[in-house]
A and B are shown apart, each in its own frame.
Chain A
Amino acid sequence: MLVEFAMQHAWLVPLLPACAFVVIVFLTRPWQKLSAIVAVGSMAMSCVIATLAAYGIFTNHEYIEKPLVYATRWFSLGLPGMPDLLVEVGVQLDPVSAMMMFMVSFIATFIYLYSIGYMEGEEGFSVFFSYLSLFGASMLLLVISSNLLQMFIAWELVGLCSYLLIGFYTHKVSAREAAKKAFVTCRIADFGLLLGLLSLQIIFGTLNLVELSDKIAHFEEYTTFGMITLIAVLVFIGPIGKSGQFPLHVWLPDAMEGPTPVSALIHAATMVVAGVYLVARTMFLFHEVPSAMQLVAVTGGFTAFFAATIAITQREIKRILAYSTVSQIGYMMLALGVGSLSAGLFHMWTHAFFKALMFLGAGSVLHALHHKADVWEMGGLVKKMPITAWTFVVGGLAIAGIPPFAGFWSKDEILVAALGGGHYVLFALAAFTAFLTAFYMWRMIFLAFFGEENPENHPHESPWVMTLPLVVLAAGAISVGWLGTPWHNIWGEWIRFGHPHHGPINYGAMIGSIVLAAAGIYLAYTLYLKDAKKKRARRMAEWFGPVYRMLYNKYYIDELYLWFNHALVDGTARLFYLFDIYVVDGIVNGIGAFARFSGDGLRVFQSGRLQNYVLVFFLGVLAVAVLMAFSGPSATSLLLGGVK
């Protein structure tokens, strides 16, 4: 009964946070606690409905092949000479969207709760919760969309929320700059996506996911292979931006300027994986184009490795986590690209838990240390902040890929998928990245939480609203991977594209990845914990001087873009500027002057004198009469006096 209700009313899931946004903005803004309660309460209710609906989906196998779709007409347009355009808003529930809906609402609930503690006493407390609610609504709308246009609207909305929340500390220049960078970078990518969607609409006449997947299955009837390849690539540009893939990853590390709950929710668990979700949703498109799949896989694999190498040298706790996010999303893309939707989304699922956990842990640390972010200045925090530290360690084990923690199972799936598909280079890259991941994560953990305490710091454990989410997410980071063990892969049964995959269990890959992870952790241990003075670490940095500097400066990509901007964009802009001033402005001003001039000129008639008005009126009558006489078939008859 309840489950049935939840499935039929899944549109309430995004609607409730949207209402919370309106309520907070217009009514409860002056009362901070009330605003927070509205936000958390609405999201918790959404989470309940989402859980029930997901339960309903996951108890009926039929929904795997035949999603539950209900939609209502938004508007339809008929233009002469074109097929009617029908635009719908609707909900599509299948295992993929049900899983994502549950995950987003569940994690969002706990992060909202955490924010109450984290944002306490901050200026704009209520505004923060209104933004969070708007984000929750947009993200959930994106997840349950039954067509790509609706998804695109939500896609832009989450981008807007991301912008607002990164720049939340408006007094900080760096936050404002980061917000701008995020927005502009994502917009560039979204333009590609938009072009892709427009092409789909023009060629196939619909953006409805179910219809599109039917039509694209035999796309030869509609278009050429070249065109469909182009569309797939254009669509993929959107995820490259939104999910921080190379070469548009530059905004994500800077986005850490936002409050930490934002980093956890938007820039780790939900929004940045929207790109992965989009690729998963449009898998029917990519599936038809092997080269596009190859592109996805290579982009993912390269980004995973590339970001991991940068993470090794970074010093700020949230930046390390940010590069790790970029790297992990690379894994997900890699999995999708080698054709395993199941493995890609599985990693998204586990990653959401352990990465949100680690961000919240980092937030707890920053909260205690008054926003001192350099891991080298921390140390020994485990004694004063046990809950934060040990839950963080759980996250570290999960991301490093130590069984039985969640990350192990999903990473193993990806490695097996890459190997099974015959992508040996990508497999090697992914395996080496696993080693790097374990190393840089544990470098951070040993430096921040273990070793000697820094006497300058006076840390304290955070309040329960902050530690409770940590504990819940830690429990998730341990257990959510058990859904997809190689021996009993429930996950793969439900969330898949095409038929479920039953390969032989690859013990070699499994043991190999455990060894690599353990080696990474051991290396970090010897360099950063056993060697209390960190002499060896410094010596390593000196040995690899140029490499180290290059990594520390993130391969100078930001500088490259800056140079590109200065040299090329600004240069061209200057050219255009001159063109603009002398040619365009000339024309525009000319038109403007003409408009003003003629406006003034026409005004002269408006003398206020009645006689003039009557005169103009009758001149008008005369003009119309002349006009009618010389236009249309009556012209001749009038001139000839009615003689035909």
Chain B
Amino acid sequence: MPFDPSALTLEMLTAVLGLGVLILGLIVPKGSRHGLGWVSFLGLLGIIGVAVALWGDNRELLDGMYLVDNYALFWKITFLLSAALVILGCMRYVDSIGDQAEYYSITIFATLGMMVMASAGDFITLYLGLELMTISFIILVCFRKLEAKSVESGIKYILLAGMSSAVLLYGLSLLYGLTGSVIMLDVSRIVAMQPVSPALVLAVVMLVAGLGFKISAVPFHMWSPDVYEGAPTPVTAFLAVGSKAASFAILLRLFIAGLPGIWENWAMVIAILAAVTIIVGNLVAIPQTNIKRLLAYSSIAQAGYIMVGLVTATEAGIKGVMFYAFLYVFATVGAFTVAAYFYNITGSDELKDYAGLSQRSPLMAAVMLVAMLSMAGIPPLAGFVGKFYLFKTIVDGYLWLVFIGLIMSMVSVYYYLRVALVMYRDEPIDATPISVSSPVAVTLIVTMIATLIIGVYPGPLSEVVNNAAHTFFLH
């Protein structure tokens, strides 16, 4: 099969954009570099446009090393969209740090890494994408390099990420050793023919641990609260959304496309991990007093919900994962953008300083509230529909997990609404109104409206996701 570079249009465009921003940063004088944010944002929007136009292009490249299908494309759109929203919401924040060119181009390279992951059909490509993303994130996490907290979390992240990569690689090499192939579709065929060996089980354990780290599933989640807290808030947002979504994209590929033959072996483990993640994430979120740590634990719990979709390894489950990941982008970016902007104005991430936010900035309080309620799964917001699609898949066979999910959702309402209570009931200590600058306001309004619309009218998105999930099994 001849190599057709047109299948890599999106990846090439993104790489060009990243490099372009970097070069522009060298040319443009320091004072006017804040325009780079707009260049990156509009560039990403353009790439999203191209991506939408490419919908329906399903093929394999290099005998399955690179898979181009609607499934990958949907994830790519999700990554690009979250990168665009994060960039739109954080321009002022980045201007206050400086080094805009590096910041934006590394964000774009992280996005590129995620896109490669979504399309990866073999272990090498997968690992390349993963490391591109991870290393970009390491740089971003310690971007405020003069601040001890930021640097500390960067060091933590690099060490722990390295360790998890090692574990993942170990798992992948075991698989290669057992099957003699790095291409997932071949691995799938060979695994199905062989009897289940302990080495194979060990490989699966390593894969679960390595990717579990990325999605911050309990007990591989320890890094995330510390890193989330220390990193610059927009980076945290992107880390919580993009890195997690990309890891889910690859998790689905690896397990459902690569290891469906031994589904019975890993399904129960994933179910138990999902349950533990949901429980621990929600319980530890309760005593948190720092908004970023609270959101970190909440995002651990959210990862637990998403893992539920993996358990049955069906099209409906994949659909649930993709649907939830997509809506999760809006809720998370909305909440973190509020946190970032709030930090910009007040220099605080503490929950108690959010007192009376509804009087100081009704928009910010409303967005935070909608994001929180959506994450808690209150209808008619998007989170409710997403959770419904996810849990619907496991009603048969894993009813206990459904109950855990529902009960812990109820528990989560407690700490989500505590934020609402502080914002709406308490009197502000400092009552000066916060005026929201227009790019941030646009981000906030987009996230809020998207959360509402997906919740009230999930039909169109659900159809798109159905289609994407369907192409997953065509290879």
A interface, CB within 8 angstroms of B: 73-81, 592, 595-596, 598-600, 602-603, 605-606, 608, 610, 612-614, 616-617, 619-621, 623-625, 627-629, 631-634, 637-638, 641-642, 644
Contact = CB atoms under 8 A, between A and B. Distances in A.
Given A75-B458, A627-B269, A602 B201 contact: no
26 contacts: A74-B459, A75-B459, A79-B392, A79-B395, A596-B286, A598-B283, A599-B286, A602-B283, A610-B160, A617-B209, A620-B220, A621-B209, A624-B208, A624-B209, A624-B269, A624-B273, A625-B201, A628-B201, A628-B269, A631-B268, A633-B196, A634-B196, A634-B201, A634-B265, A637-B195, A644-B195
Interface stretch (B115-123, B221-229, B248-256, B367-375): B221-229
B469 to A, nearest CB: 14
Contacts of A620: 209, 212, 218-220
Interface in B128-144: none
A81 B198 contact: no
B204 A628 contact: yes
Nearest to B163: A614
Given A599-B284, A638-B198, 7 more contacts: A75-B462, A77-B392, A610-B159, A613-B223, A617-B213, A621-B206, A625-B205
B163 A625 contact: no
B432 interface: no
B284 A603 contact: yes
Interface string B206-217: 101100110000
Nearest to B200: A634
Nearest to B395: A80
Contacts of A80: 392, 395-396
Given A624-B269, A634-B201, A606 B222 contact: yes
B219 A628 contact: no
Nearest to A80: B396
Interface in B50-83: none
Interface string B380-404: 0000010010001001100000000
A263 to B, nearest CB: 32
B266 interface: yes
Given A75-B458, A617-B213, A638 B283 contact: no
Contacts of A79: 392, 395
A594 to B, nearest CB: 9
A644 to B, nearest CB: 6
Contacts of A74: 457, 459
Contacts of B225: 606
A617 B411 contact: no
Nearest to A606: B225
Interface in B167-219: 167, 195-198, 201-202, 204-206, 208-209, 212-213, 218-219
B164 interface: yes
A628 B199 CA distance: 12
B92 interface: no
A638 B209 CA distance: 19
A637 B200 CA distance: 11
Contact of B219 (A75, A623, A642): A623
A29 to B, nearest CB: 13
Interface of B: 156, 159-160, 163-164, 167, 195-198, 201-202, 204-206, 208-209, 212-213, 218-220, 222-223, 225-226, 262, 264-269, 272-273, 280, 283-287, 385, 388, 392, 395-396, 411, 414, 457-459, 462
A145 to B, nearest CB: 17
Complex A-B, nearest 3 residue pairs according to Cβ-Cβ distance, in ascending order:
A620-B219, A613-B222, A599-B283
Interface of B is mostly: helix
Contacts of B213: 617
Nearest to A626: B205
Contact of B205 (A596, A610, A621): A621
A621 B203 CA distance: 11
Contact of A628 (B265, B285, B396): B265
A631 B269 contact: yes
With a 10 A CB-CB cut-off, give which of A79, A598, A603, A620 has the most chain B CB atoms. A620
A18 B348 CA distance: 40
Given A75-B459, A627-B269, A628-B204, A617 B160 contact: yes
Nearest to A594: B283
Contacts of A633: 196, 264-265
Contact of A599 (B195, B196, B285, B459): B285
B180 to A, nearest CB: 18
A608 B204 CA distance: 29
Contact of B198 (A595, A606, A641): A641
A623 B167 CA distance: 15
A608 to B, nearest CB: 6
A77 B393 CA distance: 12
Contacts of B226: 606, 608
B163 A621 contact: no
Contacts of A623: 219
B263 to A, nearest CB: 9
Given A80-B396, A613-B222, A629 B160 contact: no
A449 B385 CA distance: 59
Contact of A617 (B222, B268, B285, B462): B222
B161 to A, nearest CB: 11
Contacts of B266: 628, 632
Contacts of B219: 616-617, 619-620, 623
A409 to B, nearest CB: 44
A606 B273 CA distance: 19
A316 to B, nearest CB: 39
Contacts of A592: 414
B222 A616 contact: yes
B196 A621 contact: no
A632 B206 contact: no
A606 B385 CA distance: 33
Nearest to B202: A625
Contacts of B209: 617, 620-621, 624
A210 to B, nearest CB: 22
Contacts of B208: 624
A595 B286 contact: yes
A53 B229 CA distance: 60
A644 B163 CA distance: 34
A637 B195 CA distance: 9
A194 to B, nearest CB: 15
Contact of B160 (A614, A631, A638): A614
B380 to A, nearest CB: 10
A607 to B, nearest CB: 9
A602 B284 contact: yes
A642 B201 CA distance: 11
A592 B282 CA distance: 12
With a 10 A CB-CB cut-off, give which of A603, A614, A624, A642 has the most chain B CB atoms. A624
Nearest to A619: B219
Nearest to A87: B459
Nearest to A607: B222
A171 B28 CA distance: 60
A198 to B, nearest CB: 16
A617 B164 contact: yes
B202 A613 contact: no
B287 A629 contact: no
B282 to A, nearest CB: 8
A613 B269 CA distance: 21
Nearest to B279: A598
Contacts of A610: 156, 159-160
Contacts of A634: 196, 198, 201, 262, 265
Contacts of A608: 226
Contacts of A621: 167, 205-206, 209
A484 B447 CA distance: 55
A641 B197 CA distance: 8
A619 to B, nearest CB: 7
Nearest to B287: A599
Nearest to B218: A620
Contacts of A602: 280, 283-284
Contacts of A614: 159-160, 163
